[in-house]
Chains A and B, each alone.
Chain A
Amino acid sequence: MLEIKNLSVTVDGKQILNGLDLVLPTGEVHAIMGPNGSGKSTLSYVLAGREGYEVTGGQVLFEGKDLFAMEPEERAAKGLFLAFQYPVEIPGVANTTFLREAANAQRRARGETELEPLAFVKLLRQKAKTLQMPEEMLKRAINVGFSGGEKKRNEMLQMALLEPRLAILDETDSGLDIDALKTVADAVNAMRSKERSFLLITHYQRLLGYIVPDRVHILAKGKIQRSGGKELALELEQKGYAGLVEAA
């Protein structure tokens, strides 16, 4: 699904990722854990295609294709989804309008027929219900006046609606109370399948108690320092980043 080879990225001339390697096979859930400033968010943004990140070396293949040759919207249409750590507020654009544009733009790009307005609304309501999002949130402007938890739920709603092949969750667990955390975990677990992969980027082990990963990678100083099974997260919990990264 995703193959990152020797990836180096600078931001404003500063080296953030420094020869990062990672292979995420189809159908697996991998977690990337790392201390603050290790390059976690840079990795998620560069994969989604945000401006201001300069790739100075390496390559990323998404389903065998060169990811960096694609515009952000092409990546989305090919099935890449990033749940933002800080979802953006957009006053004046209703959530529903946005989601319909997004869903239909992706369908068009894939040569599929667009959803009829009524069919779309029905689908959206059903997805919102499983995420326990009140319908009124769908009519409001994107993320405007949403609490931290509501914003993250809204990210999960978008994921559920767009049904990506690869979902990257950038610290989706941060700032969530236990109920919201469970909702997020349920959304991910419900979508786990043989065709879909997840990359969970997180600072804490807490989320991994609800979403059990196939592999855990520890990112520090711009590269993967250690990889292992789900037990690596527990080891990290005990020893802390300092202990593990030094050991590596």
Chain B
Amino acid sequence: MRTAQQPVLASLLNLYEGQRERLPGARLPWLQERRRAALKAAERLGLPTPTTEDWRHTPLVTVLGKHEFALAQPVGLDRAPSLLTGAARLVFLDGQGDATLSRPALPEGVTALSLRQALQDDERALADRLSVAPEGTALEALNLGLFQDGALIEVDEGIAAPPVELVFANGLAEGAATSHPRGDVHLAPNASLTLVEVHQGLGREPRLLNHVQRLRLERGARLTHLVVLAEGTDTTHLAETTLSLAQDSLYQGLVLFLGGGLVRRSVTLTLAERGASCTLASGYLLTGEERGDLKTDIRHAAPDTLSRTTVKGALNGRSRQVVRGCITVEAGAARADGRLASKTLLLSDRAEIDAKPELRIFHDDVQCAHGATSGKLDPAQLFYLRSRGVPEPVARRLLIEAFLAELTEGLEDELRQPLQRLIDRKLAEVAP
């Protein structure tokens, strides 16, 4: 048993028995059974260690070992740290859905519900979604065992939904706490949606947030997905995101790592049918001891599929960025076109980037490329700006902004502007 070597895991698994009656679906035998089975699986699999290939640079067990976590409890808050004004939203405070701050009103054909609510409304509809994938990790299993809430989003066929925002405000209640939110997003054929997720640390309390998210895009569906990660310095935020894209569907993702003790996002995206395409953009603005890890696993499983992964980072202090990006082209995925580019600006001698791009190609007629570079701000550019009177700190900020601009370029103003404000605020901290 892994728990002998991993007391952290043992104490997380123990949380279940104490809270069992308060977890959603406590009256549903099938769910109880799945939770128990999941926790057993987590125990068997064990938390990833530095010998686990994808976690070589991420000492999870050491980081978590510093605290004794309790399951998060409901708290209150006056105002949600929302990014969009007026959009439908679900607000989660330390992982628990908050009905007073949420605004779930949406037109017909679009549903955004808290998972707790959905379980009360129609438990059977959720049976498929509350499971662990066969290749699932201990963290995914732990999530199913311990989840207290989550978001369920559905867009019906042909519907162009208005934007939906998920707000996660964390670190509110005192003491070390853990929450395991789930997300399930389903876009029916030719549906479209802009989904914004804000993860905002509002306190200094230690947190372990273990998200699991599944997104399914059916034929011709389009999803724009913006994720802002601005967690507290003593927060470990882990997210496992699985996406599947059907024929001619399009996923456009942007993830901004704007802070957190350890923020790790793992994205597994399958371009399952002909003509599916995705762009995954990630930006990092980190300083101090912050670290952001990204693992992308893009699978071209059908002909004429396209993927673009862009990573841009600006690191100061002793911050650290890890990028592990893999593109797989399966046999039969003719004319697949996959690219990955990672560029990092190191603003301090002590900041670090570990980038490992990887291609696995099992078909001949494809175009794939990857590249990872890192370096300092260009002294010639810096001098040019300064020679015109622009003070050095402003010149540095202008150059960093320009470097990151590509990430938000294609977005509509109503999304780009609030994101830009967050970026600017963090930039003032990263490049003072």
Contacts and interface: CB of A to CB of B under 8 A. Distances in A.
A77 interface: yes
B388 A158 contact: yes
A106 B399 CA distance: 19
Interface string A140-153: 01100000000000
A84 B385 CA distance: 12
B402 A90 contact: yes
Interface string B356-371: 0000000000000000
B424 to A, nearest CB: 14
Contacts of B387: 48-50, 72-73, 75-76, 81-82, 84
A131 to B, nearest CB: 17
Contacts of A98: 385, 388, 390, 398
Given A91-B402, A93-B402, A51 B389 contact: no
Nearest to A86: B380
B388 A90 contact: no
Contacts of A73: 386-387, 389-392, 395
Given A73-B391, A73-B392, A105-B394, A92 B385 contact: no
A242 interface: no
B55 interface: no
Contacts of A158: 388
A90 B399 contact: yes
A88 interface: yes
A101 B384 contact: no
A87 interface: yes
Contact of B389 (A76, A84, A90, A91): A76
Interface in A63-80: 71-73, 75-77
A102 interface: yes
A76 B388 contact: yes
B98 interface: no
A48 B391 CA distance: 14
B381 A88 contact: yes
Contact of A90 (B385, B392, B394, B406): B385
Interface string B388-421: 1111101100110111011000000000000000
A121 B405 CA distance: 23
Contact of A92 (B380, B390, B406): B406
Given A84-B384, A98-B398, A92 B405 contact: yes
Interface residues of B, number: 22
B390 A101 contact: yes
B314 to A, nearest CB: 13
B379 interface: yes
Contact of A72 (B383, B402, B405): B383
Contact of A93 (B380, B386, B398): B398
Given A84-B384, A90-B381, A92-B405, A77 B389 contact: yes
A109 interface: yes
A106 B389 contact: yes
Contacts of B402: 90-93, 141
A103 B395 CA distance: 13
Contact of B386 (A76, A91, A92): A76
A84 B388 CA distance: 11
A72 B386 CA distance: 6
A77 B386 CA distance: 10
A211 interface: no
Nearest to B400: A92
Contacts of A93: 398-399, 401-402
A93 B384 CA distance: 12
A105 B399 contact: no
17 contacts: A51-B379, A72-B386, A76-B387, A81-B388, A88-B383, A88-B384, A90-B384, A90-B399, A92-B401, A92-B403, A93-B399, A93-B401, A98-B398, A101-B398, A103-B389, A105-B394, A141-B402
Interface of B: 379-381, 383-392, 394-395, 398-399, 401-403, 405-406
Given A92-B403, A98-B398, 15 more contacts: A51-B383, A72-B383, A73-B392, A81-B387, A88-B380, A90-B381, A93-B402, A97-B398, A98-B390, A101-B390, A101-B394, A105-B390, A105-B391, A158-B388, A162-B388
